[in-house]
Amino acid sequence: MIPIDTNNIQPEKKLFHNQWIDVYPTELPLERIEYWKENNRTIFTFERLTRIKEKSIENISINEIVEFIAEQDIHKLQVLSDSIKRNGVQVPLVIRDDGKLLDGNRRFFACHLLKIKCAETGEKEPAWLSKIPVLVIKKDNLTFTTELKILAEANFIPDLKVAWPLDAQARAVDDYYNLILQDKTKDRDAALSEVVSIFGISRQRAVDLLDTLKLSKTFIDDSTNEDDRIRRREIVEDKFVYFWEFLNKAMKGRGAFNNPTELSEVKKMFFDLIGKGRDTPIKNVKQVEPLVQARRDETAWSMLEESKGSKLSIVVSMINDKKDVRKAEDQIRVFYAWLTDVNELSTQAKVYLKKVAELALEKSQG
Compute the C-alpha angle 68/72/76, nearest 5°.
115
Q: What is the pLDDT of residue 105?
A: 87
Residues 6+ apart with CB under 8 A from 17: 149, 150, 152, 153, 197, 198, 200
More confident residue, 43 or 152: 43
Q: What is the pLDDT of residue 321?
A: 83
Cα distances (angstroms) measured from residue 36 to each of 94, 128, 149, 238, 245:
11, 22, 16, 21, 31
> What values do phi and psi take at 358, rounded to 5?
-65, -40
Rounded to whole angstroms, the Cα distance separating 47 from 169 reads 18
Rounded to whole angstroms, the Cα distance separating 141 from 187 reads 28
Q: What is the pLDDT of residue 3?
A: 84
Q: What is the pLDDT of residue 330?
A: 65
Encode pLDDT of 61-119 as tens digits.
999 999 999 998 888 888 888 888 888 898 899 999 988 888 888 899 999 999 999 99
Asked if pLDDT for residue 344 goes beyond 90, the answer is no
**Among candidate residues 57, 154, 158, 60, the one with its CA nearest the CA of residue 105:** 154
Q: Which of 261-275, 301-315, 322-336 has the lowest mean pLDDT?
A: 322-336
Q: What is the pLDDT of residue 68?
A: 94
Q: Which of 24-28, 161-165, 204-208 has the lowest mean pLDDT?
A: 161-165
Q: What is the pLDDT of residue 265?
A: 97
Reported confidence tier of residue 347, pLDDT bands at 50, 70, 90 = confident
Q: What is the pLDDT of residue 155?
A: 60
**Among candidate residues 114, 42, 50, the one with its CA nearest the CA of residue 78:** 114
Q: Are 36 and 101 in contact (CB under 8 A)?
A: yes
Q: What is the pLDDT of residue 160?
A: 35
Asked if pLDDT for residue 343 goes beyond 70, the answer is no
Q: What is the pLDDT of residue 24?
A: 94
Q: What is the pLDDT of residue 302?
A: 95
Asked if pLDDT for residue 125 goes beyond 70, the answer is yes
- 34 DSSP β-pair partners: 100
Residues 6+ apart with CB under 8 A from 257: 250, 251, 263, 266, 295
Percent of the chain residues past pLDDT 90, beyond the cut = 52
Q: What is the pLDDT of residue 159?
A: 42
